[in-house]
A and B are shown apart, each in its own frame.
Chain A
Amino acid sequence: MWKMGVQNLFSRPARSLLSILGLTVAIMGMVGLFSVARGIDALMSNTFKRVPGLIVLQTGAPVPLFSRLPEQWEPELKAMPELAVVNAELWQRANVVEGKMVVSPPRFLFGTDIATRKQLKHCVYQTAMIEGRFLIESDRNQPNVVVSRAIAKDYKKAIGDTLRINGDVLTIVGMYDTGLMLLDVAIIMDISTARTLTRFGEGSVSAYYLETQEGLDSETVAVTIEEHFRGREVPAIGSESLLTLNCGNGKSLLGNLLGSILNGTPKPTTNDTTIRENSEKSTALGETSDRAALSDTVDENMPVEVRSPEDWVERFEKINADLELILGVLTAIGVTVAVLSIVNTMLMSVTERVIEFGILKANGWTNGNVLRLILSESATIGVFGGIFGSSFGWGATVFINWKWSERIHLYASPGLLVFSVVFSIVMGTLGGLYPAWWATRMMPVDAIRRG
């Protein structure tokens, strides 16, 4: 019967091919859209697999870039018996590289304490070195940097070349390649060098990257650290470091945006009068209801929060859930149009073939048999639409990943591809239901006479 269905379908090749094309485009769109969400999932998972340690941030800071912590807390952390290595980090955005404004992909100045960096068991950048060398003790206070292959390629640089960042001239001593979009954005240098270049507040760092002693549960260690600092205040830090990110009213636009996205907002430092005053002004204007709502989840007495790789992945999964909802709506629109096209095709086909169904019924075919024949035809459209749509969608993600490897990472998982084919078949079959029902409700003689 399936063979007969396929024969029927291809007896009207142009119409059938157009229907298949319509569904192909819809399924391709679906694969493309959902591969964005899957890509983020995969990227997060792969990234944080490579960064297995804990990170201590200012409470509410979405990422280290928006976090400020006092440098004098480092000895306290190092004194904790649960921790094996404490590595101070300083993150700042590189706004101008080689005289060009950096928009996308972003580039970050990453200052790291070289001595403790070398003690890390899992140092993603050191293990990903492909050329030159990683930072050594003699790079302390020196304008030497390690960049990713992507950054070197972008600015056509090689080992030994200089790189102008925000007006300062740095020398490239090494090149790494983690293959991960989120990690290959760092221009790595000594933390003192970074502090000088970025005019980052004296006595402060962005975050601390930690490795725990072997065998300890990282969640337990995280709670221990947070409890250790409970009730403490983040001392005053220089606000000059925020200049590049803050707008006139003292609010970090990008920070607020990211904070909102990540369901957390950097808590104003206790003594940062400017930010606090502006925050109060905003409250008076009724602008901070969202911030207030978000801060509900923040423990005001906890100046730091410690995040494990799982925490990061969980946060991004929440964003992804919202993203998938939007993508689902977009896909639904495309698929609805495609299914309507199948309904139209099948309805036209069925109307033209009324006599055929009368003949089949006269020869003992049941309504169920006729229904199955028509559904097999519409399902065939679904099969082809699904296979083509998934294949082209997958091909498109491969092409996009290759062409814009630094800007976007799409992932059409085997599960997504199989789901797309099945979904397409289901949609194709559903598209044939009404025409099939229409065809079966007639008496055989009416069908023959109508024909």
Chain B
Amino acid sequence: MIIRAENITKTHRLGEHTVNALKGVSCEVPHGDFLFIVGPSGSGKSSLLYVMGALDEPTSGDIYIGEQRMAALTKKQRDEYRRLQVGFVFQSFNLLRNLNAIDNVLVPFFPQGVSPQLRKDATTLLERMGLGDRLLHRPNQLSGGEQQRVALVRAILKRPAVILADEPTGELDSQSGAEVFRILRELSSEIGSTVVVVTHDTRYIEAGDRILKMQDGQIIGEQTA
């Protein structure tokens, strides 16, 4: 799936101040690409990621998912897009504290009901991530690396067309961070997902295919890894 951003702007209001997080950003992420978006804090990289994932709406400009203009999607279709096409990974893992590891992985499917096959797939993936003995543990019983692996499985289980990761190694040590990228690369290749990773940590960018550099809400450069 190709994700295309055309002249995206995003303006936030912070009290009396207006912050222009994105200032006319245009870019394209081809199918199967593993893209890093790097830049300092406040450069607008997370804002771009959220707009791509339909977690937020741009102030102006258009996002296209393939040929489909996202602004033309109904709310329900955007929900469907997030549910079926996009897998999110966040910096602070964002697991639900009341659910155990397996339920955290399956939570996107709760409204529709979890089939035994899906539960089996989730278990298999978690075991593959080395979490076979952690299935029934709650987030507060897991290490940071383990939590992020659970979050990765949650993002990947639905075999999404796009995986969007926001600072996925931000709260991990370098070893765990490297492990996360190794897994992300491996699983996304297996299922043919497009991956967009936002980070200000350049230690792992060699794992990607392309790198977009952002600063002050604009893309200031692009390079191939």
A residues sitting closer than 8 Å to B (CB atoms) are 1, 4, 7-8, 11, 355-356, 358-367, 369, 372, 443-446, 448
Contact = CB atoms under 8 A, between A and B. Distances in A.
Contacts of A369: 110-111
B55 A363 contact: no
B90 interface: yes
Nearest to A369: B111
A364 B97 contact: no
Contacts of B79: 361, 364-367
12 contacts: A4-B110, A7-B99, A355-B94, A361-B79, A362-B94, A363-B83, A364-B82, A364-B83, A364-B86, A365-B110, A366-B79, A448-B90
Closest 10 CB pairs of A and B: A364-B83, A363-B108, A445-B56, A369-B111, A445-B55, A366-B79, A444-B55, A445-B50, A364-B82, A11-B98
Contacts of B73: none
Nearest to B50: A445
A363 B153 CA distance: 12
Contacts of A367: 75, 79
Contacts of A446: 56
A443 B107 contact: no
Nearest to B47: A445
Interface in B38-53: 50, 53
Interface residue SS majority, chain A: helix
A444 B50 CA distance: 9
Contacts of A443: 55-57
A396 B107 CA distance: 43
B84 interface: yes
Contact of A448 (B55, B57, B84): B55
A446 B56 CA distance: 8
Contact of B94 (A7, A11, A372, A448): A448
Contact of A366 (B56, B57, B76, B86): B76
B138 to A, nearest CB: 10
A1 B108 CA distance: 11
A338 B111 CA distance: 29
A56 B76 CA distance: 73
Contacts of A355: 94
Number of contact residues on B: which range applies?
20 to 34
Contacts of A365: 79, 83, 108, 110-111
Contacts, number: 70
A372 B84 CA distance: 20
B111 to A, nearest CB: 4
Nearest to A4: B110
Contacts of B99: 4, 7
Contact of B96 (A1, A356, A364, A445): A356
B181 to A, nearest CB: 21
A390 B86 CA distance: 47
B111 A1 contact: yes
Contacts of B80: 364
B34 interface: no
Given A1-B111, A4-B107, A359-B94, 17 more contacts: A1-B110, A11-B97, A359-B96, A360-B96, A360-B108, A362-B88, A363-B83, A363-B107, A365-B79, A366-B76, A443-B55, A443-B56, A444-B56, A444-B82, A445-B50, A448-B90, A448-B94
A7 B97 CA distance: 10
B154 interface: yes
A8 B50 CA distance: 27
Contacts of A362: 53, 55, 82, 88, 90, 94
A446 B110 CA distance: 23
B49 to A, nearest CB: 9
A172 to B, nearest CB: 69
Contacts of A366: 75-76, 79, 111
A407 B146 CA distance: 67
Nearest to A10: B98
Contacts of B97: 11
Nearest to A363: B108
Nearest to B81: A364
A365 B110 CA distance: 9
Interface string B152-181: 001000000000000000000000000000
Interface string B102-118: 01000110110000000
A1 B110 CA distance: 6
A446 B99 CA distance: 23
A4 B98 contact: yes
A364 B84 contact: yes
Contacts of B84: 364
Contacts of A11: 97-98
Contacts of B53: 362
